[in-house]
A and B are shown apart, each in its own frame.
Chain A
Amino acid sequence: MNLWVVLAVNSITLGGLLFLLSAGFSLIFGLMKIPNLTHGSFFMLGAYLATSLIAHGFDFWTAAILGGLLVAALGGIVERLILRRLVGAELAQVLVTLGLSFMIADVCLLVWTGDPIRIATPAALRGATSVMGLGFPTYRLAISLIAVVFAVLLWMLLDRTRLGAMIRAGVDDPAMARVVGIRVSRLFTIVFCLGAWLAGFAGVIGGPILSVYPGLDQEMLPLALVVVILGGSGSLVGSLVGSFVVGFLYNFGQAMFPELAYVVLFLPMLVVLVVRPQGLFGRQAV
């Protein structure tokens, strides 16, 4: 198969994973103004938890959902017990989430050792599917499909439900949202758990492609940061576009300028910062 097609498919796959990761990050950042530096750790922890769940006889999809739920539970505890005390103290939030990410990484190293673990691709999705005469790896197509489904679900949640309207109100003007009787603090917990679940879930379904290894958290976090800076915080469309831009840049950058992959990745971010600091789809300055 043509190299460019392979790269394009890989880019879309990575874009899909990044969307799942960064949609939550972006919502948390947009609504709660918390730069959640544990988000990469949630991704990695979800994947690690799933490897153990699968080893205990769960099938892949159950493990993905359960792994995500465990991560979401941890996220809820962190939000309720620690972040709740630090509302408005940005520096403190940065430090606490960073500190937690170090602790999670170290615990993962202790529990799952330093060797990379590959999550087996679910049996039904192995092999290749032929589309328009070209063979594509089925699992990668499935990830792209999952990302699209989640994009639609999240859009419906935010745009079509009462909860979504409350979240949007919280993003736009938390003080006024409180005045009209929205319990913003409960929204915080819901959004934080949802974001954590998406990150953990993304980690699991990314497992068959990326595998899980120490340092995965620190590798994914900057990608999520770039997506949010590119797309603008709190914007779902921004996350979607940003994710695919980053997915393409990362894969093509690595293929064409392997030594400068990181620079290629961050250049458009810098351009956006200079031209439009609130991000492509953001409404206010970060």
Chain B
Amino acid sequence: MRRLALAAALAILGTVPWWIGGTYYINIASQILFYAIFALGVNVLAGYAGLVSLGHAGLFGIAAYAGARIMNDGHGQLVVAAGALGVTLLVSAAFAVLALRGTGLGFVMITVALGQIVWGVAYRWISITNGDNGIAIRGRPSPLGLSLTTPASFYWATFVVFLLAVGSMAVFVASPFGASVRGTRDQPLRMNALGYHVWMIRFLAFLFSGFWSGVAGLLYLYYNQFVSPQAVALTASAEALLMVIAGGTATLLGPIAGAALVVVVKNVASAYIERWNFVLGAIFVVIVVFMPEGLVPGTVRRWRRALAALRPRPTAAG
């Protein structure tokens, strides 16, 4: 049953450009996929490690900026990708060392501050980041000689990376490392007493999270062929967190559903109303107050309850 559902989902997602009708929708689907990768990355910390980061757009943006700079210096695609991800990992490590001085609220505050530093640099350090004007790149890469210029080909390339991200998450969740990350979230003191190095586990989780945020940032750069301080603003970090929360933290499917929801609402809402930020804020408030567990776990719970109500009750018969 599970395998069937998985195969069906793969078949549906893999053939999107053929049935969705129109490049506009293919592009939205691509956006959903790379934002889903970003949300999966944020979820490693916010969901499994219990560390809520409001600075992840900084990591996302650093990958995009680094990629753009390296590409405009005339380097090949492999160097661009490796360089951008390398820089992102280094910055993630630095962020992790600083942010892990605190947990809970302290962690949130420090990540906000770190994210704002990145924003400040992107906005003000004009000689490096070109300030508010942003950096444009020449075009999308062509891995293995395949051109990614058409929306459909870019979608499939993103889809492959997306599958890798989901696969790595599935492995991570099932692995002993994933279990120890959840352990540091639920019982840090006991984990420590059991001989686990809590700080190191959180540090590695941060790097893992930063890595996929960087991958998403790089895809964002390839997709838009442009990056500006908007990509690293606090709003962007908040959107990523909204995707995770909306879908359901510490689930594999949640962030993906959340990314789809946010990207679709954002595109639909901005087509009809100007006030996207208001809608975003309102969604935040409504979800937190009325559906704190997130949409996916909430729906699953209701679905199970509905199924249970349909079945005949064995308790009465004994």
Q: A residues engaging B (CB < 8 A)? A: 29, 33, 35, 37, 82, 85-86, 89-92, 94-96, 98-103, 105-107, 110, 218, 221-222, 225-226, 228-229, 258-263, 265-266, 269-270, 273-274, 277, 285-286
Contacts A102-B280, A107-B278 given; does A92 touch B292 at CB 8 Å: yes
* Given A91-B46, A228-B109, 5 more pairs with CB closer than 8 A: A35-B105, A98-B54, A98-B281, A218-B234, A222-B116
* Residue contact A99 to B281, C-beta cutoff 8 Å: yes
The answer to whether B52 touches A106 (Cβ under 8 A) is: no
Of all chain B residues, which has the CB nearest A229? B109
- Is there an interface contact between B113 and A95, defined as CB atoms closer than 8 Å? no
* Choice from B108, B126, B238, B281 contacting A35 with Cβ under 8 Å: B108
- Tell me the nearest residue of chain B to A92, going by C-beta: B288
Instruction: Please tell me which stretch of B74-82, B96-104, B155-163, B193-201 contacts chain A, meaning at least 4 of its Cβ atoms lie within 8 angstroms of it.
Output: B96-104
Produce 1/0 per residue, B116-159, CB < 8 A to A: 11011100111100000000000000000000000000000000
Tell me the complex Cα distance, A110–B242, Å. Answer: 24
Is the CB of B227 closer than 8 A to any CB of chain A? no
Distance in angstroms between the alpha carbons of A226 and B113 in the assembled complex: 7
Q: How far is the CA of A37 from the CA of B238 in the complex (A)?
A: 12
In chain B, positions 217-245 with a C-beta closer than 8 Å to chain A are 233-235, 238, 241-242, 245
Q: Which of A263, A269, A273 contacts B120 (CB 8 A)?
A: A263
A-B Cβ contacts below 8 A, count: 123
Point out the residues of chain A lying under 8 angstroms from B285, CB to CB.
82, 96, 99-100, 103
> Are A225 and B113 touching (Cβ within 8 A)?
yes
State the B residues within 8 Å of A (CB): 46, 52, 54, 98, 101-102, 104-106, 108-110, 112-114, 116-117, 119-121, 124-127, 233-235, 238, 241-242, 245, 275, 277-278, 280-285, 287-289, 292
Among residues of A, the one whose C-beta sits closest to the C-beta of B50 is A91
Complex: A232 Cα to B54 Cα, angstroms: 20
Known: A101-B281, A218-B234, A225-B112. Contact between A274 and B98, CB under 8 A? yes
Contact at B282–A95, with CB atoms within 8 Å?
no
Inside 8 A of B281's CB, which chain A residues have their CB? 98-103, 106
Is A99's CB under 8 angstroms from B280's CB?
yes
Give chain A residues whose Cβ lies under 8 Å from the Cβ of B119: 262
B118 to chain A minimum Cβ distance, whole angstroms, is 9
A259 pairs with B124, CB closer than 8 A: yes
Knowing A259-B125, A261-B120, A274-B98 touch, does A96 contact B288 (C-beta < 8 A)? yes
